[in-house]
Structure 1
Amino acid sequence: MLKKSLVLMLAILMVVSLVAGCAQKGPSDGGGQPKEEVKPVILKMSVTTPEGSSWTKGAYKFAELVKERTNGKVEVNVYPNEQLSGGNQGKGIEMLMTGATDLSFHSNIIYSIMDERFGVISLPWLLPTYEKADEKIKGAGGEKVAELLLEKNVVALGFGENGFRQITNNKRPIATPDDMKGLKIRVPGIKMYISLYKALGADPTAMNFAEVFTSLQQGAIDGQENPLDVIHSAKLYEVQKYISLWNYSYDAIILGMNKDKFESFDKETQDILRQAAIEACEYQVELNRANGEDQLAFFKEQGMQVTEVTDEQIKAFQEKVKPVYDEYEPIVGKELLDLFR
């Protein structure tokens, strides 16, 4: 009898153990395998300028908004200082077009390496004020540029700005065209700037931006031209003595996305990307404009001599560069040029 009782108890314990084991292993939804965690889509974003610039701050803002609004389903990794292209801005745009990178902040000037029509925004003194630049970029001019970008397999999610380009050098203050004579000035590798500086009597040298600091330091070039934010973030004040403020060329930056990658997302995500880009670009523009006075004051503290070129003095420069318009109107087309006039 005792033996039978022990056998019965053991049998009951085995059944209970099996039931408990099944309860622990079974999924809570009543069947199937446990659901795997969905990994986020990781997007790579290339930025030309170093950490601390308004460009990179705008890019990080974009990444923050995208992650937040997609609930972490899409994440953007930001690579400053043209890391992904090895310092070659033109290659950076090629990588965006082919899909080797997903997103980028690049200047319209660099896009004009691929297609000279993108240089229209930056023709000398075409957009002389921020108000005029805002009007044209947010209007039909910006819409046309976005349309042209689609031809290059790039979706323009938003427009930020590099701002007005100023000139620095180590030889002398610049206030008249005569002051430009013989100066070896680094310019982006596009024909328009080379033509422009030749018209002013300078010796323009095309060079990747990543090489500029060392070239100035070693005396291979006398000067360069860039907006204040770039001069500041790249620490060019350490290797330049003079800066002239003449607002001669407006420089937009484009938050571009590879078209194929953009179209791989559903409409809801596309809308999130567009809206996040618009807000991030607005943030970047605000930073860029707010920082100008502080950056100038800082340059003076570092020993730079600041020359503010007057409106009357600018007229002499404008007269010198008229041939640039004669050369480039047939290239960019009168219709496109008129959208920015």
Structure 2
Amino acid sequence: MKLSRCFTALAAAAALTAACASAQAREYSVSTVLSDAFPWGQAAQKWADLVNERSEGRITLRVYPNAQLVTGDQTKEFSAMRSGLIDMAVGSTINWSPQVPELNLFSLPFLMNDNADLDAITQGEAGKLAFAAIEKRGIVPLAWGENGFRQLSNSAKPVRAPADLKGLKIRVVGSPLFQDTFTALGANPTQMSWADAKPALTTGAVDGQENPLSVFDVARIDQAGQKYLTQWNYMADPLIFAVNQRIWKELPEADRELLAQAARDAGEWEVALSREAEVKRLADIRERGVELIELNDAERQAFVDATRSVHEKWAPRIGKELMEAAQSAIAQP
């Protein structure tokens, strides 16, 4: 009987220790490429604020902006999270595509026309397949955010046709697909980190760049001699709220749901914020003396035709099932 009581006491103590451990405050790192001066950074901070509030301070998400956890090399973020050097992230499909080829779907030039096409992909079967591809590689995706459609700026001339890009040095991110796209358009794509991009634009080492309006606006790229901005919506860059798989498995079910719901809420908030701000951003950019070029249907189609070879090359790497799901989503009325 005494032995039985001893085991009972030990079991109770173990249960109490486990309960105390689960109730202990925990802190996790969250990587993001841009600070909270941009919608991207604001998405990460909103997630952190919601988690802190809903866990009553028990769970802290500490946001590390400017890709500082990977010394500024944003393309290493996914690998660092997978290895456990980063706990969580609000990351870009562009930056994660070297490790998750399926995410190149979103970088295909002129696949999507507008936000309706983007939403049809992310919120449907294609979005589920993209999340499955991420999870297969050791990361648990929770929700979508948005970095916006990417537009083209340069210091040389208005760009209305592929011929206008011939010979222009355009800064691009570290993705082979971007190299292929701008090569197909006759430009001279130059890969460099964002930290190096603005100085290169200022000195004229490169002629132009492509980024969402929020980046052009907040980073004041017009001050780097970028006098012409072509609104061509050539690709979108969704953001993904995600967690290292090992950490996810260690969390109690209730905390998993708290993190996931907070990510979904932060994502929806940030998407709405980003889209609502675009009209004012355009007005502000125009007031600063930037010439805005809006393409008509025929002009945009010329860019579509010029980049068909890029689709043909990259579609097999993305995968037939995902490509078909995305194309079907866009085709729906």
Q: Which residue of 2 aligns with 1:263?
A: 249
> Aligned pair 1:72/2:57, yes or no?
yes
Aligned to 2:202: 217
In structure 1, the residue matched to 2:75 is 90
Q: Of 217, 242, 255, which residue of structure 2 is paired with 1:232? A: 217
One-letter code aligned to 1:103: M
Partner of 2:260: 274
> Identity, % of aligned pairs?
34
Alignment check: 8 A CA contact 2:77 2:95 kept: no
RMSD of the alignment, in Å?
Answer: 1.5
Q: Which amino acid aligns with 1:241?
A: K
1:339 to 308, 325, 331: 325
CA distance in structure 2 between the aligned counterparts of 1:287 and 1:329, rounded to whole angstroms: 32
Q: 1:122 aligns with which of 107, 119, 123?
A: 107
Q: What is the deviation of 1:51?
A: 2.9
Deviations 1:223-258 (A, max 9, x none): 110111122232222211111001111111111111
Determine which structure has more spread, i.e. the larger CA radius of gyration: 1
Residue 27 of structure 2, aligned match among 32, 42, 47: 42
Alpha-carbon displacement from aligned partner over 1:165-196 (angstroms, at most 9, x marks no partner): 10011111111111110010011111111111
Letter in structure 2 aligned against 1:135: A
Q: Which residue of 2 aligns with 1:4?
A: none
Aligned pair partner of 2:283 in 294, 297, 302: 297
1:21-52 superposed Cα distances (whole Å, 9 cap, x missing partner): xxxxxxxxxxxxxx99x752111111111331
Tell me if the contact between 1:102 and 1:261 (Cα under 8 Å) persists in the aligned partners. yes
- Once residues 25 and 156 of structure 2 are traced to their aligned partners in structure 1, the CA distance between those partners, rounded to angstroms, is 53
Aligned residue identity for 2:312: D
Q: Bigger shift: 192-201 or 297-306?
A: 297-306
What amino acid does structure 1 have at the position aligned with 2:94? Answer: I
Q: Is the Cα–Cα contact under 8 Å of residues 158 and 293 in structure 2 kept in the other structure?
A: yes
More moved, 299-308 vs 38-47: 38-47
State which drifts further: 305-314 or 111-120.
111-120
Structure 1 stretch displaced more, 206-215 or 282-291: 206-215
Q: Tell me the amino acid that sits aligned with residue 178 of structure 1.
A: A
- Please state how far the C-alpha of 1:207 moved relative to its aligned partner: 1.3
Q: Distance in 2 between matches of 1:302 and 1:260?
A: 48
Write the deviation string for residues 84-115 of structure 1: whole angstroms up to 9, x where unpaired. Answer: 22211012222111111111121111111223
Q: Which of residues 228, 250, 253 in structure 1 aligns to 2:239?
A: 253
What code does the residue aligned with 1:259 have? Q
Match of 1:315 in 2: 301
One-letter code aligned to 1:101 = I
1:58 aligns with 2:43: yes
CA distance in 1, matches of 2:54, 2:45: 14
How many angstroms does 1:164 deviate by?
A: 0.8
| Aligned position for 2:10 | none
**Contact preservation (8 Å) 2:100, 2:134:** no
* Number of aligned residues: 306
Which sections of structure 1, spanning at least 5 residues, go unmatched? 1-34
Distance 2:218 2:129 in 1: 31
Query: 2:9 matched to which residue of 1?
Result: none
Q: Is the 8 A contact 1:62 1:276 kept in 2?
A: yes
The farther-off stretch of 38-47 and 165-174 is 38-47
Which of 265, 270, 288 lines up with 1:284 in the alignment? 270
Aligned to 1:11: none
Distance 1:43 1:167 in 2: 36
Amino acid paired to 2:317: I
For residues 151-176 of structure 1, give each alpha carbon's deviation from its aligned partner in whole angstroms, at most 9, with x where no partner exists.
22111111111111100111111111
The alpha-carbon deviation at position 275 of structure 1 amounts to: 0.2
SS in 1 for 2:277: helix
Residues 169, 224 of structure 1: 8 Å contact kept = yes
Structure-2-length-normalised TM-score:
0.89
**SS, match of residue 153 in structure 2:** strand
